[in-house]
Amino acid sequence: MQHRIFVVAAGAAVLALALTALHAQAPRKVLIAHRGASGHAPENTLPAFELAVKQGADAFELDVRLTRDGAPVVIHDPTLDRTTDLAGPVGARTFAELRAADARQTAAWWDGRPFDAVLLDAPCTASGIVRRHPDVRWLRRPDDIHALARIQSEMLDALWPLLAPGGRLLYATCSIFPAEGQQQIDAFMQRLGPGRCRLDPASPGHLLPSRDNGWQGEPGRGTALQDGFFYALIHKT
């Protein structure tokens, strides 16, 4: 399987200089998280980057491209065909057009070939990161959780048929609300019915800000998880 890695040249140069200085000051192994903590969260997403820092990474690599109007966006593919209802190069669209793209409209972009894995970093209330983004509590409206839960449900239903038998779907949100986490997954698995899927026993479920949910890295570098997230890994049987 081939993977492409895209790094902004200026950013790569700055990263190299920073790591060189870091190594010179404190000789030791330098930890670089490839696309974030991609073993624990969907790659190239905020949860993956945040977990990489929590786990003690010195830096992380990500894929960045520019829109037609010069806005940087984090996306791996050079085109929009595979992941949205749009088509063509990322650079041919404005930022506003990308924000309006809808992955739920699979008929508009799926080529019919099943995926071995689907990473769904679903839109959510962001209630788990209020500590670092206090404006979230004023930007959200009371009915947002219901609207977002409906979108999450529709995305799960739309993307599941694209998964090959034996494939895995990783669902993630940066929310502490059960409606966007465990309740969402419970309802989804009930809709699928018995024998069609199974929840991976290693799925952490809700990770709430608590010392019990700290990440253990090198000696002395473990820290308590200060943000809230939800992860569920589902196997297609």
Residues annotated as part of the active site: 174
Q: What is the dihedral of CA 36, 52, 47, 81, to 10 degrees?
A: 0
| CA-based torsion, 158, 159, 163, 166: positive or negative | negative
DSSP 8-state class, residue 150: H
Q: Quickly count: other Cβ atoms within 10 Å of residue 105's Cβ.
A: 13
* Helices 182-192, 144-159: crossing angle, 10 deg rounding: 40
Tell me the backbone φ, ψ of residue 66, rounded to 5 degrees.
-105, 140
Single-letter amino acid code for the residue at 176: I
Q: What does the alpha-carbon distance between residue 125 and residue 141 come to, in Å, rounded to a whole number?
A: 10
d(CA 76, CA 43): 9
User: How crowded is residue 198: how many other Cβ atoms within 10 Å of its Cβ?
Assistant: 13
